[in-house]
Amino acid sequence: MSITADGADFQPAPRPVSTKLDLPHALRSLKKLLADKEDTTQVFEIMRALNGASTAKGYHRLLATPGGGRIAYERREFADRLMDDAWLDSLPAGSVGAAYRNFIRTEQLSAEGLAQVSREGRSDIEEPHPYAWFARRTRDVHDIWHILTGYHRDAAGEACLVAFSYAQTRGLGWLLIAFGAVSKSMGTRYPFVKAIWQGYRRGKAAKWLLAEDYEALMAEPLEAARARLGLSPPTIYESIPADVRDGALPAAA
């Protein structure tokens, strides 16, 4: 039986893109990313090559959570909400959403910009399929995870968030990028490797963030949300001087 939220077929039918691993492609993309940490299209290539099975498992895990069935049934495109300036401006001072609003405007980012990068050369991300929708949802909350975790967009922060994301999603693409970041940071005088490892441990200890109702979460006070979600401070990352956090580590997105 198919499930419909807006008339579109929403049945987990076979997809043109396999959920099987494509490690050779992922390794080629990692090599390009390590050579140019600004080439974020390679991040999405790695995710497509390695994260298919974890995305499918994540979708079914969502269905098993309180409220997850409703979220999946409604199948809202969160990127559209994040592009609504009037909604963002309505979020109260001190909230998760207010911090996000300041973050994207200061950094000159947008949810649509990230979505455009994910679409480059591929159309499967836009499929009317539950797994594709869950992949889009995971993509669209990336910058909110920056806010919640306290990791900035410098290379060290992205590497720590990659390790956090692996713990949360079990996506092997995140793991591969984390290993790449570790390899680039070996032998430095600063605790990059320890910070990345702490990112993983923080992700393991936190609640599963992909089950959150993000519209409600955005209105929560930031510190209260962090406490509720079990997000401890990124102490090792914060111990690294801000002016050296970019280093030679690969960026994520």
Residue 66 has pLDDT above 90, yes or no: yes
- Positive or negative torsion for Cα 62, 84, 8, 14: negative
DSSP reduced 3-state for 221: strand
User: Which single residue is written with the structure tokens 């594709």?
Assistant: 132
DSSP state of 152: -
| pLDDT band (50, 70, 90) for residue 251 | low
Please tell me the distance from the alpha carbon of residue 229 to that of residue 210, in angstroms, as a whole number: 11
Task: Tell me whether residue 241 is exposed, middle or buried, using C-beta atoms within 10 angstroms of its C-beta: 0 to 12, 13 to 18, 19 or more.
Answer: exposed
At 18, the pLDDT band (50, 70, 90 cuts) reads: low
**Given a cut of 60, is residue 7 above it in pLDDT?**
no
How far apart CA 58 and CA 60 sit, in angstroms, is 5
CA-CA distance, 35 to 60, in Å (whole number)? Answer: 36
Lookup result for tokens 């797994």: 131
Q: What is the CA radius of gyration of the chain?
A: 18
Look at 179 and 9; give whichever has higher pLDDT: 179
Residue the block writes with tokens 């269905």: 63
DSSP state of 75: T
More confident residue, 216 or 41: 216
Alpha-carbon torsion (56, 60, 65, 66), positive or negative:
positive
Q: 97-101: which pairs have CB atoms within 8 A and are 24 or more residues apart?
A: 97/218, 97/219, 98/222, 99/147, 99/222, 100/143, 100/144, 100/147, 100/218
On the question of pLDDT at 30 being above 60, the answer is yes
How far apart are alpha carbons 90 and 144 in whole angstroms? Answer: 17
pLDDT tens per residue across span 107-127: 999 999 988 888 886 667 888
> Rounded to an integer, what distance in angstroms lies between the CA atom of residue 115 and that of residue 138?
11
- Residue 67: pLDDT over 70: yes
Q: Is the pLDDT of residue 206 over 70?
A: yes
Average pLDDT, the chain: 89
pLDDT the model gives residue 36:
85
Crossing angle between the packed helical segments 172-185 and 155-169, to the nearest 10 degrees: 150
Q: What is the mean pLDDT of residues 49-60?
A: 94
3-state class (DSSP) for residue 5:
coil
The mean pLDDT of 145-153, rounded to a whole number, is 97
Q: Examine the pLDDT at 1 and tell me if it is beyond 70.
A: no
Per-residue confidence (pLDDT) for residue 250, from 0 to 100: 57
pLDDT for residue 123: 63
pLDDT class for 15, splitting at 50, 70, 90? very low
Residue ranges in the chain assigned as alpha helix (H): 23-35, 41-50, 52-63, 68-74, 78-82, 85-90, 96-107, 111-119, 130-140, 142-149, 155-169, 172-185, 192-205, 214-217, 222-229, 235-239
- Asked if residue 238 has pLDDT above 80, the reply is yes
Q: Mean pLDDT, to the nearest integer, of 144-160?
A: 96
Q: Is the pLDDT of residue 4 over 50?
A: no
Q: How far is CA 44 from CA 118, 122, 145, 210, in A?
A: 6, 10, 17, 18
As given in the structure block, the two tokens for residue 166 are 């692996």
Structure tokens at 174: 């995140």
DSSP 141: T
